[in-house]
Structure 1
Amino acid sequence: MIGAPHSIGKGTDGRLRVGWADGAQWIDHARLRRECPCSQCRAFRLRGSPPRVSDAVRVVEIHPQGYGVQLVFSDGHQRGIYPWAYLAQLGSDQEEGGALAR
């Protein structure tokens, strides 16, 4: 089981920064919105029609929930709670292909 990160915050570059014990992870806001784990978004993806999300969408609020984090997006979507393990498996939007920065 993956525990909570030691830090989480919004970057000015449109990426969420998650600070884990073994490094930092950056995830694009639009990617997070497209990968929302709520039941509605999962149903869209299972039907083969992922949610349409603008690349300009941004995380506007971050609400830790113990086992994960609720993200509120600029398009009004706020239904998903992203478990810590789910965030970790998304990898990083890094030029080198996703390894945690050390």
Structure 2
Amino acid sequence: MSAVVTELRLKRAERVLEVAFADGARFALPAEYLRVESPSAEVQGHGPGQKVIIAGRRQVGIMRLEPVGHYAVRIAFDDLHDSGIYSWDYLHRLGSEQPRIWAEYEAALAARGLSRDPVRR
């Protein structure tokens, strides 16, 4: 696909990353969504069927964005997860397919009796 990002805007208070692409697409991606769909091996696993369902991240925020060449960004979350490198293509896919991906995530949580809310200790 070779998506090209023209703007990244972190809105910390809203916990949203706004992304604009050269093809005119614009997405507002919530931090929680980016965190639970991290492209890291910790979340995606090392092969098909190994994806981990991450619960309790409703309140997660983004601490910083780190450029990775001209093709991606590393996102550091305030739960200390920072190993995912989000390529422009991956961000475009997350934006384009957000309704379906989010519905699948919520269904996976429900099937496991998990919640988006953090566990209170």
Same fold, TM-score > 0.5, yes or no: yes
Cα separation, 1, equivalents of 2:76 and 2:6: 20
The aligned residue for residue 86 of structure 2 is 82
Q: Which has the higher helix share?
A: 2
Residues 30, 55 of structure 1: 8 Å contact kept: yes
Q: Offset of 1:13 from its aligned partner?
A: 1.3
Matched residue type, 2:41: S
Matched residue type, 2:43: C
Listed as ranges, the gaps of 5+ residues in structure 1 are 98-102
* 2:18 maps to 1:14: no
Return the TM-score normalized by structure 1: 0.79
Identify which of structures 1 and 2 has the higher relative contact order when contacts are C-alpha pairs closer than 8 Å and 6+ apart. 1
Percentage identity across paired residues of the two chains: 27
Cα separation, 2, equivalents of 1:4 and 1:51: 28
The aligned residue for residue 24 of structure 1 is 26
Distance 1:25 1:43, change over 3 A: same
CA RMSD of aligned residues (A): 2.6
Q: Offset of 1:25 from its aligned partner?
A: 1.2
How many residues are matched? 96
Return the TM-score normalized by structure 2: 0.68
Listed as ranges, the gaps of 5+ residues in structure 2 are 100-121
Residues 43, 51 of structure 2: 8 Å contact kept: no
